[in-house]
Amino acid sequence: MSLERPELDRAGGCLCGTVRFRARLTGTNFGACHCPMCRKWTGSALLGITVPAADVEWTGAEHIARRQSSAWGERAWCADCGSPVWFRVTVEGPYAGNLELPVGSFDDANGLTMTNEIYIDHKPDSYAFAGGDRQVLTRAQCVEKFPLLASE
């Protein structure tokens, strides 16, 4: 009997299709980040799901552009169409080696659940997500939990 969970295998890619991926999710929970950098990068909150980098296979990776956007994080996008591809922590620690893949880049995002919102005190009052059964953290709470954020 196979222990594989096919519902955790997801494909996705950028708007133009030049960059594609197949990800093996470790779970179905994702979060929203309302920090100023994520909002500028995505045009809204980053809705991202954490996936170990080793569990993502890429095609068109030569079209991925990267930028070290802070002392501890990197953002990547399709160099052809500009779609966000990932956010990655670049310093050693418990989050190194993981990618935050934008939920909107999945071909099928059904069955995923938003379980947290961070930088909630930076969220503009012009939008809100439905439901409220999730953890919310302010910037100060995020910095307390993840001290490396204090450098931004």
Closest CA to 53 of 79, 18, 15, 85: 85
CATH of 9-151, one of 2.170.150.70, 2.70.50.60, 3.30.420.40, 3.40.50.720: 2.170.150.70
The C-alpha angle 98, 49, 133, rounded to 5 degrees, equals: 135
- 35-74 per-position pLDDT tens digit: 999 999 999 999 999 999 999 999 999 999 999 999 889 9
pTM of the model: 0.90
The DSSP string of 134-148 is: SEEE-HHHHHHH-GG
Phi, psi of 125 (to 5 degrees): -80, 0
User: How does pLDDT run across 76-132, given as a tens digit for each residue?
Assistant: 999 999 999 999 999 888 888 899 999 999 999 999 999 999 999 999 999 999 887
